[in-house]
A and B are shown apart, each in its own frame.
Chain A
């Protein structure tokens, strides 16, 4: 299933915390796209995913926003 998380206007580590809390409610294989305005999210959220067994399909910048598309792992 596809899910979205709005983490705009939050500064790291809050986008990471919101991502972490959201993923706890999802099933392996689900996809979560996070939108943030803190550019640090582009490095922090993938780092969090790597150490917690999730994968990042894609990340990209769009003006002042950044997007990270995460595939939930087995946790």
Chain B
């Protein structure tokens, strides 16, 4: 007879549902460790790191780590940027409202979790899924599909809605008691909030959703523009990071600009200056702007005028702008572009 507790791996997003699911299983004496996947599209982390000014009132923390610490469990953060590209580019089950491949994403992450538990001799997987909570990946019909296609099968326990689903391995084997699991369904957050209160959990991140840039219409517009202006649908981590930062404008089909909006973004974009032609205002305070694409003299003059527009010299007669390309730099004196001359369709 085995005396050691059974071991479960909980997918921890940093939100409330996965926190509660892990807690429900911990309450039953199971050894739980967490896993969190970094896809490159996570809203978590980067935005607060980059945009210091706007988010300064919010706690600067990684919510998945914070949740793990509250639960007293280990957390393994896994970089899946490379394998995740195939999920984004070729989703078998298609996209949601934007470029969000939610169903394929869930299957992918559970597939990774299956490999992890098999490599580390764990018994089952826990997720915070709730039937009917999400329009695509958490529908009643998609739940068995996700379990099947990820190879998790009946090793997948969804403690928040388990009582609406067939028994799983940990329930059948008596590793967890089914009656101590829950039967939540639908989009209401009230059952989760009641359970959180019962556990004494009062501080948690956004209840659900909003954790992935691929669900964001503005972000996916920029990603589609990226694909439309390069040889095919592909991306590197730097590409998708840069889409999160600054104003993006495409004043000509063959080049685009990324203009920092505040100091944190300037510091972030500084890291890309060696790779990109970039512009800075010299005579006035102003942003750093990166230029992507093949540009001639006229294009750079246009880019300088746009950069000047977003500087403190926007109402000046002329603004001096330095243009840096590789090891070479020179200064241009330009008239800041008037606001009404920046066409709305230049903004991505």
Contacts and interface: CB of A to CB of B under 8 A. Distances in A.
Contact of A50 (B38, B69, B79): B69
A42 B5 CA distance: 34
Contacts of B44: 13
A40 B69 contact: no
A29 to B, nearest CB: 20
Given A11-B241, A16-B77, A47 B267 contact: no
A1 B65 CA distance: 27
A17 B271 CA distance: 20
A40 B38 CA distance: 16
User: Among A13, A38, A47, which residue has the most Cβ atoms of chain B within 10 A?
Assistant: A13
Contacts of A64: 267
Contact of B62 (A13, A39, A50): A13
Contact of A13 (B45, B72, B268): B45
A17 B75 contact: no
A29 B23 CA distance: 32
Interface string A37-64: 1111001100110111000000000001
A51 to B, nearest CB: 5
B77 A17 contact: yes
A12 interface: yes
B60 A51 contact: no
Contacts of A13: 36, 38, 42, 44-45, 62, 64-65, 77
A14 B79 contact: yes
User: Among A12, A44, A50, which residue has the most Cβ atoms of chain B within 10 A?
Assistant: A12
A47 B65 contact: yes
A39 B60 contact: yes
Interface stretch (B46-54, B112-120, B320-328): B46-54
A52 B60 CA distance: 20
A9 interface: yes
B147 to A, nearest CB: 27
B73 interface: yes
B50 A47 contact: no
A47 B74 CA distance: 10
Given A40-B45, A52-B74, 5 more contacts: A20-B77, A40-B48, A43-B62, A44-B62, A51-B72
24 contacts: A11-B45, A12-B45, A12-B46, A12-B49, A12-B62, A13-B36, A13-B38, A13-B64, A13-B77, A14-B38, A16-B62, A16-B65, A17-B38, A39-B52, A39-B60, A40-B60, A47-B65, A47-B66, A48-B65, A48-B77, A50-B69, A51-B72, A51-B75, A52-B74
Interface of A: 9, 11-14, 16-17, 20, 37-40, 43-44, 47-48, 50-52, 64
Interface of B: 36, 38, 42, 44-46, 48-50, 52, 60-62, 64-66, 68-69, 72-79, 241, 267-268, 271
**Interchain residue pairs A-B with the least CB separation, the first 5:** A12-B45, A47-B65, A9-B271, A44-B62, A38-B49
